[in-house]
Amino acid sequence: MIAQIKAELLKVRSTRTTAGLLLGMVALILLFVLLTGLLSSVASLSSAENQRQLLSIGALAGVFSALAGVLLVTSEYRYGTIRPTILFTPSRSRVIGAKVLAATLAGVGFGIVGEALGWAIGYAILSGRGITFALNSGDCVQLALGGLAGIALWGAMGAGLGTLLRNQVGGVITLLAWGFVVSPLLFGLVPSVGRFMPSYAQDSLIGLTTNHLLPPAAGGIVLVAWTALLASAGLALTARRDVT
């Protein structure tokens, strides 16, 4: 299993896809932190909740971590490398399991870069504009580590989703539509259901206090449950389907 994970991590590293995703992630986080940090008034940025929002922008890395997870699986179907992969490792559960774990580890990488960037720029803006830091250390740990955990789990969810769908374009579109269209709509219309969507579970995990969110621990459990659900559904399907 360790060998398989190593192989999967090499797949992540050996194309330019990952570098491209990292670049996109850095650009997007930079843009959002700068816009939020520079365009908001000093008064607004002085509230703890708004500082939390600013410093949680690094969690956008979850989008890229999830994309990397989707691509780790779907590019194998797109380019046919799934055939040699399964020939070398016929155990579908070992392959899928290793992909989910490798995507989680890659997600940790995305998370470290994204969080560090979001925090560094966000904190620099706050102190540069002479705003008093309003978060205590417990808040900060929850924000940073919760963010990191969420981003890593997004990698695993992406791999699970990719395994379910197999189609690369379909997987990417489904992921983005789910995260940016379906979940916000659902949360807006039926918050009692919408808060169980992974993006809102992640918000609760990192300690955002938006109305209707789950408690942080529950948010964490929901994220893990989504990961387990997607990965095991993907595995169940893969085990039954022929590799063509």
Partner 1 sequence: MPPVVVAESLTKRFGEVLAVDDLSFEIDSGTITGFLGPNGAGKTTTLRMLLGLAAPTKGHALVFDRAYGELEYPALRIGAVLEATDFHPGRSGRDHLRMLGQSVGVPDSRADEVLALVELRDASRRRVKGYSLGMRQRLGLAAALLGDPELLVLDEPANGLDPEGVRWLRDFLRRFASEGRTVLISSHVLAEVAQTVDQVLIVSHGRFIVESSLEELTARVSGVVRVRSGDSPRLAAALIAESLKPTKSDEHTLLVPGATSARVGDIAFAAGVAVHELATEGSSLEEIFLQLTSDEQS
Give the binding range for partner 1 (CB under 8 A) out of 72-80, 129-137, 138-146, 162-170: 72-80
Q: For partner 1, which is the closer residue by CB, 96 or 197?
A: 96
Q: Which of 24, 80, 128, 215 forms a contact with partner 1 (CB under 8 A)?
A: 80
Q: For the CA atoms of 108, 28, 21, 208, what is the dihedral angle to 10 degrees?
A: 30
Q: Which is nearer to partner 1, 11 or 195 (CB)?
A: 11
Q: Cβ of residue 27: shortest distance to partner 1, in angstroms?
A: 21
To partner 1, the closest distance from the beta carbon of 169 in angstroms equals 16
Tell the smallest beta-carbon distance from residue 79 to partner 1 (Å). Answer: 5
210 sits near partner 1 (criterion: CB under 8 A)? no
Enumerate residues 13-52 that contact partner 1 by CB under 8 A. Answer: 14-17
Instruction: Name the minimum Å distance from CB 187 to partner 1.
Output: 37
Q: Which residues bind partner 1 (CB under 8 A)?
A: 3-4, 6-7, 10-11, 14-17, 75, 79-81, 83-91, 242-244
